Structures are given as structure tokens and as C-alpha cells.
Structure 1
Amino acid sequence: MFGYVFKRSLQSLVAVAGLLVLVFFLSRLTGDPAYLYLPLDSTEAQRQAFNELHGFDDPLYIQFGRYLADLLHFDFGTALSRNRPAMEVALEAFPETLKLAAIAMTLSLVLAIVVGALAATKPGGIFDRLATTISLAGASAPDFWVAIVAILFFSVSLGLLPTSGTGTPLHWIMPIGVLMLRPFGLLTQVVRGSMMGVLTSPYIKTAQAKGVRRTKIVFVHALRNALLPVITVAGDLAASLINGAVVVETIFGWPGIGKLMIDAIVRRDFALVQATVLITAIAIFFLNIVIDLVYAALDPRIRHQTA
């Protein structure tokens, strides 16, 4: 198992390095930061002095070499928009995204397991049809559209919830609800399909013949063996939640790393863009390794090969 973790970590390191190279050069295509950070009536000499001060006047290959040298000393640059170390700013925002994604994913998984398992017990029934309709609608609805409609309905029309920001439990309801919708829809379908296959297994029929309670058969015997594909899909969705929180955080003004990344791109804050992408990439790669280990722990038949 240690060999597998080492191999995956090495692969992730190579992928992160490639991503940083790509982000470094693509971020420079957004334009000259001097036009954003200096007054509109600034002279060409002032813009040249600004670029010289921050090293933006050097050729790209020199800037990239300097960036790599700084990385070796764990120096990720200074955020121009905050006048603070870029990594420090990114690390302050990341826990907000992590909390939002963790709560949304946990609630989605629990609700999907319950709803999907109950729907599988009576395929074609009223509850099954209702659960299928809601889950498919949730999986198909775009996050940005749901977020805007939620603000118009719950905040503007009814005045029940705040439109954006943080501070009270009410501020959490809409961001979590919007983030939950797609994972809940997809996981419900996965749980339902997996449970329908397991419930027709011979050992389930044997348990029924022995008089085992229906709830124990569904939520203990069947669910235990139906969880493997659910764990795989849940891992992919959890990674996408961290990465996809950009839209939700931007619409609801949530002070997470997704909104910080968008702000950094708009402001041409190259160091902050690179720091936010690095943290997000590391979190996603780490989560994928953890999911693989959990999957192996749940199914002893799986043996990861390091070769």
C-alpha cells in the first residue's frame, strides 16, 4: 500500500508541476497589470517603472526561471491586490471553500443513500418515480442558474435569506443547497442502480427467507455491498465540488478560494492566481488518493499494484 501511495504521489507531483507551468504562461496572456493598478492618466514611463519594479518587463523565460527559483525556497510571490504573500492569502480563503464543500458533500451523500435505497426497494413505485424525477432534475440543472433563481425567489421575492456574504447560519443555506443539488441527483441514481442489483442477489433472498427485518436487509446487508460504486462516484464529485465552487462562491459572494481565484484573474494578480491553483490542485490530488485507499479498505479483493 505504501508503494501505491508513493507512486500516486509522484504522478500527482508531475501533474501539479505541469499545471503550474500552464497557469504561469496562460495568466500572462490576460494583459499588462500596470493598466489596472495605476491611474488611467498614468504615463508610459510610470507603467514601465511599475513593470520593472515587479519584474514584468523581463522576457517570459526569465520570469519563469525566477518563479521556479522562488518555488525552491517556498516563495510564491506577493499578491499585488493585497500587498501580502500570495500563499498566505490563498491559505486563508481555502478553509471557507473546504467547509462549504464538506458540508454539501456530506448532506448530499447521506440523503442520496437514504432516498436511493428506499427507491430501489420498490422499483416503479410512486416514491421511486418521484425520487428519479427530482434526482435527474437536480443532476441536470446548471449551478449558476439555480443560484440566480434561488436569490430571486428566496431573497428578492420572499426576503427570507440574505443574497450573499457570511456571518449567520442563514448565509449558509443557499450556497450549500445549490452545491448539494448535482451531487445529490447523481448519487441518488448510483445508489438506486447499485441497490437494485444487490437486492436481487441470492444472499438477500436467503436473509428474507430467514425472516430478517426489511430495514436491516436494505440498510445493512444490501447497502454494505452497494456502496463501492457510490464511494467512487462520491470521490469524483467531492473533487469537482472543490473545483466547481468557483461559480457558487462568486454568485453568493462567499469568501472562499474559488471567488479569490476569479478576483485574482480579473485583477491580473499573477502570483495569487498561481497560489490558488496550486492549493486547489493539491487538495484534489490528495482527495483522489484518499478515495482510492477508502475503496481498497472497503473491498479487500482490490490490490493496488505499484508496477
Structure 2
Amino acid sequence: MLAFLGKRAVASGLSLIGLVILVFFLSRLTGDPTGLYLPLDASEEAKTQFRQIHGLDQPLILQFLHYMGDLVRLDFGESIRRSEPAIDVVLRGVGWTLKLAGVTMALVISLAVVIGSLAAFRQGGIFDRIATFFSLVGASVPDFWVAIVAIVVFSVNLGWLPTSGTGSVWHWVMPVSVLFVRPFGLVLQIVRGSMITVLNSAYVKTARAKGLRNRPIIFVHALRNAMLPVITVIGDQAAALLNGAVVVETIFGFPGVGKLMIDSILQRDFTVILAAIMVTAMLIFIMNVVIDILYSILDPRIRY
């Protein structure tokens, strides 16, 4: 297991270096940020001084080498917009995004596993058909459309929920609900399909023949063996939540890392963009490692 995790860490490290190189040079293509932070009538001397302070007066390749040298010392640079360490700005946003994604995934996993398992057990019945219909709808609709419709209905027309902010529980209802829809539909479909396969296996039929009740058959014997493909999808959807939160956070004005990245791109705050990308990539790597560990727990054969 340790050797496998070491290989994954090396592969992820190389991918992260490639990502940093790509984002560094692409972000510079957005233009010189000097015009955004200085008055229109600023003198050339003021512009030159601004570029020198932020290291923008050097050739692009030298800027990159200096940045990588600082990165080795875990110095992510200073935010141009906020005049504070970029990593501090990003970690504040990541905290909000992790809370949003954590609440959403907790609801997705608990509801999708229970409903999907019951739908598989009652395959072809009314409950199964209703669950399948809503899961297909949820997996098909785009997040931004659901978010806009939710704002129009629940904020503009009914006036029940606020459109932005984090001040109360009600501020979280629409962002969590919108992020919930798509992963819930996908995970429910995988749980249902995997459970149908397992429930038709020989050992489940044997358990039924011995007179075991339905609850232990579903949630003890069948569910554990059905969880391997489910965990894969849950991991993918958790990573997708970190990336997909960009749209939802921007629409609802949620102060997470997704909105921070959009704002930083518009503000040409290069150091914050890079720090946000790297922190998000590291979170996804950690998530993949956790999934690998769960694989080995659920199926000991994977350890060998």
C-alpha cells in the first residue's frame, strides 16, 4: 500500500508541476495588470515602479523561474489585489468551499445510497420508477440553469430565500440544493445498478433462503459488495464539486475558492490564481488517496 501511495504521490507531483507551468503562462496572456490597479493618468514612472514591486518588469521566463524558486520554499507570493499572502487568501476561500462541498456530499451519499438500495430491492415497482425518473432528471440538468431557476422562483417570485451571502442557514439552502442535484442523480443510478447486480448473486439468494430479513440482506451483505463502483463515482463527484462550485459560488455570491478564482482572473491577480489551482489540485489528490484506501478496506484483494 505504501509503495502504491508513493507512486501516486510522484505521479500527482509531476501533474501538479505541469499544471503550474500551464497556468502560469496562460494567466500572463490575459495582459498587464498595471492598467487595472493604477489611475488612467498614471505616469510611466509609476507604472514602472508598480511592475518592479510585483516582479512584472522581468522577462516572462525569469518571472517563472523566480516563482518556482519561491514555491520550493512554500512562498506562494503576495496578492496584487489584497496586498497579503496569496495562500492566506486562498485558504479562506477553500474553507468555505469545503464546508459547502462537505454538506452537499453528506446529503448526496446518505440519500442516494438509501434510496438507490431500496429502488434496487423493489426493482420495477412504483418507488423504483419514481427514483429512476428523478435521478435521470437530476443527472441531466446543468447547474447554472437550476441555480437561475431557483433564484427566480424562491428569491424573486416567492421571496423565501436570499440570493447571496452566508449569514444564516437560509443562505446555504439554494447553493447546497443546486450542487446536490447532479451528483445525487448520478450516484443514485450507480447505487441502483450495482445493487441490482449484487442482489441477484448466489450468496444473497442463499441468505434469503436461510430466512434472513430484508434489512440485513440489503444494508449488510449486499451493500458492502456493491460499494466499489459507488465509491469511484462518489470520488469523481466530490472532485467535480470542487471544480463545479465555480459556477454556483459565482451565481450565489458564495465566498469560496471558485468565486475567488473567477474574481482573480478578472483582476489579473496571478499569484492567487496559481495558489488556488495548486490547493484545489492537492485536495483532489488527497481525495483520490482516501478512495484508494477505502477500496482496500472494502475489498482486501486490492491490497495485493
**1:45 to partner: Cα distance:** 4.0
Q: What does 1:73-88 correspond to in 2, within 5 Å? A: 73-88=73-88
- Does the 8 Å contact 2:225/2:298 carry over to 1? no
2:5 alignment counterpart:
5
Partner AA of 1:34 in structure 2: T
Structure 1 match to 2:280:
280
Partner of 1:35: 35
Q: Which residue of 1 aligns with 2:296?
A: 296
Residues 38, 47 of structure 1: 8 Å contact kept: yes
What is the distance in 1 between the residues matched to 2:29 and 2:75? 23
Q: Which residue of 1 aligns with 2:143?
A: 143
After the TM superposition, which residues 192-203 of structure 1 pair with which residues of structure 2 at under 5 Å, given as runs? 192-203=192-203
43-52 or 58-67, which moves further after superposition? Answer: 43-52
Partners of 1:167 and 1:246 lie apart in 2 by 20
Shift of the alpha carbon at 1:219? 1.7
The Cα of 1:52 is off from its aligned counterpart by 2.5
Q: For residue 53 of structure 2, what is the amino acid of its counterpart?
A: L
Moved more, 206-215 or 247-256: 206-215
Q: Percent identity?
A: 59
- Structure 2, unaligned stretches of length 5 or more? none
Which residue is 1:169 aligned to? 169
Task: State how 1:229-268 maps to structure 2 within 5 Å.
Answer: 229-268=229-268
Give the Å deviation of 1:303.
2.8
Contact 2:12 2:285 in 1 (8 A): yes
Specify the alignment match of 2:54 in structure 1: 54
Q: After TM superposition, list the pairs within 5 Å mapping 1:61-72 onto structure 2.
A: 61-72=61-72
The range that moved more, 46-55 or 294-303, is 46-55
Consecutive aligned runs of 4 or more in structure 1 exceeding 6 Å deviation: none
Q: Report what 1:187 is aligned to.
A: 187
Between the aligned partners of 2:218 and 2:65, the Cα distance in structure 1 is 59
Match of 1:157 in 2: 157
Output the TM-score relative to the length of structure 1.
0.96
Match of 1:126 in 2: 126
Using the alignment, how far apart are the partners of 1:221 and 1:286 within structure 2? 29
Q: Indicate if the aligned counterparts of 2:54 and 2:80 stay in contact, CA closer than 8 A.
A: no
Scaled by the length of structure 2, the TM-score of the pair is 0.97
State the alpha-carbon separation in 1 of the partners of residues 212 and 119 from structure 2. Answer: 20
CA-CA distance at 1:245 after TM superposition: 0.9
Q: CA deviation at 1:34?
A: 0.7
Query: What is the root-mean-square deviation of aligned Cα atoms in Å?
Result: 1.2
